[in-house]
Amino acid sequence: MKRHFRKTRIYAYSLMVSWLTVVWVLLWGDLSWANVIIGALLGVLVTAVFPLPGMDFNGRFRPWHFVNLVAHLAVDLVVTSFQVILQAISPGPRIESVVIRVPLHTHNELLMTAIAVYITLTPGSVIVEAQHSTGDLYVHMLGITTPEEIEEAKRRVFDLEYRIVASFGSKREYALCKQYVNELKEQRANAKELGA
C-alpha cells in the first residue's frame, strides 16, 4: 500500500514539474536547452516551496458515465445560452433571480468542486458559496420565480450531482446518489399518476 502511494505521489510530482517546465518554455517563447533546464529547476523549486495539499480520493473513473456527463454538458451549454439570450433580449419586466441552497449527498471536496465548476460553466447560474462540512451549495440562478421552478432547479442540480458521482465517485457515494435519483423518479411517476 505504501509503495503504491509513493509511486502515485512521485508520478503526480513529476507531472507537476513537467507542466511547470512547459509553462516556463511557453512564457519565454523559445525552446532551448537552457529554457528547459531552468524551467525544470524552477518547477522543482516551486513544488518544494509551495507543495499542494494532499487530497483523499477513493473514487473510480467510469468511462460510460463520463461520456454521458460530457454530452449533458454540451447540451446544457447550448440550451442555457439560448435561454439567457432570450431573457436578455425579451421586452418586459426585469429578469428575476434567486439564490437556492442545495444540500448535496456527497461531501467529497473534489466532487463538490466538480459540481460547482459545472454549474458555474452553465450560463445563467453561478455558485455563491460552497460549504464542504455540510455539503451545501448556494446557487444563484436567473429566471426562477416560483416555488415549482425552485424545486425543478434543485432537481437539476441533484441530477448533475448523480452524473458527476457516477463518473468519478466511490461505490458508496454512487449507490447513495443512485438511490436518491430512483426515489425522485418514483415520486415523479406517482405525481403523474395522481395528475392523470
For 97-122, letters b (16+ CB in 10 Å) and e give: eeebebebbbebeebbebbbebbeeb
Look at residues 190, 185, 96, 189 and name the one whose alpha carbon lies nearest to residue 146.
96
Cell 512521485, residue located: 10
- Overall pTM > 0.75: no
Between residues 58 and 159, the one the model is more confident about: 159
Distance of CA 144 to the CA centre of its chain: 22
pLDDT digits (tens, 9 = 90+) for 19-78: 889 988 888 888 889 989 999 999 999 888 988 776 666 778 889 999 999 999 999 999
pLDDT at 116: 93
Mean per-residue pLDDT, 76-102:
88
**Inter-residue contact 34 to 7 (CB < 8 Å):** no
